[in-house]
Structure 1
Amino acid sequence: MRKPRDYDAELKTLEDKARELKTRKVQQLGELVIATGADGLTPDELAGALVALAETKDPARREAWAKRGAAFFRSKSRRSVQAPDNGNSGTATQPGGAQPASGATGAA
């Protein structure tokens, strides 16, 4: 004879998993805000910039933002790898790191 499924336990497990995923997403978004330097903005400025970004439907503009974001992440990983090897590498990558902050201000 088959053992009946415990739907309540399965539902609770799924709810716990969904809660963990939501918590991880919120944490990663917070880390992204800090990594880009956008934590220096006021909450109103940040929210306004994000609303403007979300409302933008222009594919060319969104693609440009995507390329800029990808370049930001590439420069971040390269900077963390090179930083211990060469103290001067921070100055070479700093202008690239400053671009997202000015872009975020311009988008607001």
Structure 2
Amino acid sequence: MRKLRDYDAELKALEDKARELKARKVEQLGELVIATGADSLTADELAGALVALVETTDTGKRETWAKRGAAFFRSKSRRTASAPDRDTGGAQAQSGGAQPASGATGAA
């Protein structure tokens, strides 16, 4: 006879995992805002800039922003070379403090 599966427990475990992932994503986004210096903007300014970014369909602008972002993360990871080898998508490299936001105003 087969052991019955506890679907409720499995569902609860999946919901807990999803909640953890969402909390980690929110934390990492907050760290990104701080690391880029965008925390000096008001919530309305930041939201407006992000909405403008999302609405942008110009692939040239998006590619430029992507290159700039990649360079930002590379420069951060070089400064924190003594950090653990584990890659967390740049979140640990950002915790070292905010750098001057050279791209914060040119995004719109």
- The TM-score range, normalised by the shorter chain, is 0.7 to 0.9
| TM-score, L = length of structure 1 | 0.78
Structure 2 gaps of 5+ residues are: 83-98
Report the counterpart of residue 64 of structure 1 in structure 2: 64
Amino acid corresponding to residue 34 of structure 1 in structure 2: I
- Superposition pairs of residues 1-108 of structure 1, within 5 angstroms: 1-81=1-81, 98=100, 101-108=101-108
* Deviation digits for residues 25-84 of structure 1 (CA, Å, limit 9, x no counterpart): 0000000000000001111110000000011111111010000000011111223349xx
Distance in 1 separating the partners of 2:23 and 2:54: 22
Greater helix proportion? 1
CA contact (8 A) 1:49 1:107 kept: yes
* Residues in 2 aligned to 1:59 and 1:24: alpha-carbon distance in whole angstroms: 29
Q: Structure 1 stretches of 5 or more lacking a match? A: 83-96
Percent identity among equivalent residues? 82
Distance 1:15 1:34 in 2: 29
Tell me: higher relative CO, structure 1 or 2? Use CA pairs within 8 A at least 6 residues apart.
2
Indicate the RMSD between aligned Cα atoms, in angstroms.
1.6
Tell me the TM-score normalized by structure 2. Answer: 0.78
